[in-house]
Chains A and B, each alone.
Chain A
């Protein structure tokens, strides 16, 4: 019986870990390639969730169709973010990018608050009340959808960065921007690609994970808090470090909550982040950018 509890806690932990991986991956991609911290990250996620909700509840589209429409919309938002915040600050001190993206986040959050109001909304999906039982362990429907989407999009991202010309250029830019320019790679175009990519990843995260929670305009704060912890634990700009850190954090939180208390679970990510920073400031898997 005890073994079953531990098993269930492990399953839940891995499932939550995939939420965190999806949350953090957009932030990691933008930081890894551009060395700019996107403080509008949580708001991009929030915006994707509200767009999805609007398509679903107002236009009456199916969940899958709405999800598919959110992605190009988020790509456009990403390009806008690049034009307004990331491109103009590319050659400026790092604070400029932080303040500019912070400002974009403030604008997005309050624009959504003015448009949709502050009362919580929900994204209903047909998977949310389904579950699967294997060897006495429960797997919830939407959680399985998240795992599927997370694995697919991570593999797609890996393939994109590894095997396409643009992906190769992006990895080169992550290593050395000046050298890129010397061999004729247009850094400004890569910035647009990166912002679009990071924003679409936020859109995927929003579409997959947001149905589990209530939607409200400041929901991005929780996401950005967790994403920062994941990114710092995994090493800033280290994609696979972030994924591993997300899964580890999910497991740690699940056991802390299941065997300890809810407060202990909430404190886990921050405690882990501070411990990592004190012991190994470059993160478990090192500061080296790996994409």
Chain B
């Protein structure tokens, strides 16, 4: 019961932030947090709830980012359409990666998901006619939805907040449903899940599809908000950041990764770390967590607390 009040209080604080602080920097950190909340839920569904160590999230994310950018810059399509297209691009990429890679042995699966992401980055670098290669695409227009252009950070904040809430809502709906329980069963004991009649392959493809759609949407929001993308959107730094957020927050929980996204977006900003130092620190943290706290920080802290109360 207390956790429900905590969640409500968190939403209340999130809603009030732009009214209390007018600093555009605070709003920027809030918006980036919101985008990362969408992305961590994408990874959480695959890694946390389905137990699949997929390194393909940046592939979905980058496809969404390039899809909305090219559609709105080249064809001037309405952003309601380009956002939907980005989600569909992410979804199809998810299915496309999932079908061959999920047939493989465990190690090959991880390798293929990473290779697919690297391949898309290679294409983005080399298909210069379409993507302008390493120069990237600048001045991506501010989205117009329902006739209103989001040029103000104030508007952006609330739009991203709504999208993050939607992402969490979708996750909550899936996890509480039959499909979610089948997913968790598949993760915990696949032979048993098969034995009780679950089509585990279809369940995993479903997880990949939803994960792809979420990350594709996140990529679209990211592209329009930063107004610049380059092949770095397929890059390893996203994988690394998302892994940290999900694993440290507690993969396979609804709110843990959200806290992870909040902490690991705000903390590097507060400490004013350079990207190299931040990545170095992430590497050290990831190694420490994998070795010392196999089930994530949240459960590690929980175990410590349990042990203190006999």
Contact = CB atoms under 8 A, between A and B. Distances in A.
Given A104-B287, A228-B115, A274-B100, A98 B53 contact: yes
Given A114-B276, A114-B277, A107 B284 contact: yes
A24 B209 CA distance: 32
A281 B109 CA distance: 11
B189 interface: no
B169 interface: no
Given A84-B287, A100-B291, A270-B115, A94 B277 contact: no
11 contacts: A35-B107, A84-B291, A89-B290, A104-B283, A110-B280, A110-B283, A221-B236, A231-B111, A236-B108, A270-B119, A278-B103
A256 to B, nearest CB: 14
Given A96-B294, A103-B290, A263-B126, A281 B108 contact: yes
B128 to A, nearest CB: 11
Contacts of A100: 287, 290-291
Contact of B110 (A98, A103, A273, A277): A98
A85 B287 contact: yes
Contacts of A98: 53, 107, 110
- Return the 10 tightest CB-CB contacts between A and B, nearest first: A106-B283, A107-B283, A103-B287, A103-B286, A110-B280, A110-B279, A99-B290, A95-B53, A228-B111, A225-B118
A35 B240 CA distance: 23
Contact of A99 (B118, B236, B286): B286
> For the complex, would chain B's binding face be called helix, strand, loop or mixed by DSSP majority?
helix
- Chain A contact-residue range equals 35 or more
A96 B105 CA distance: 16
Nearest to A105: B283
Nearest to B52: A95
Interface residues of B, number: 34
Interface string A87-99: 0110010111011
A102 interface: yes
Contacts of B107: 31, 35, 37, 94, 98, 236
Given A35-B107, A99-B243, A100-B291, 10 more contacts: A99-B290, A104-B287, A107-B284, A110-B276, A110-B279, A110-B283, A111-B280, A225-B115, A236-B108, A281-B103
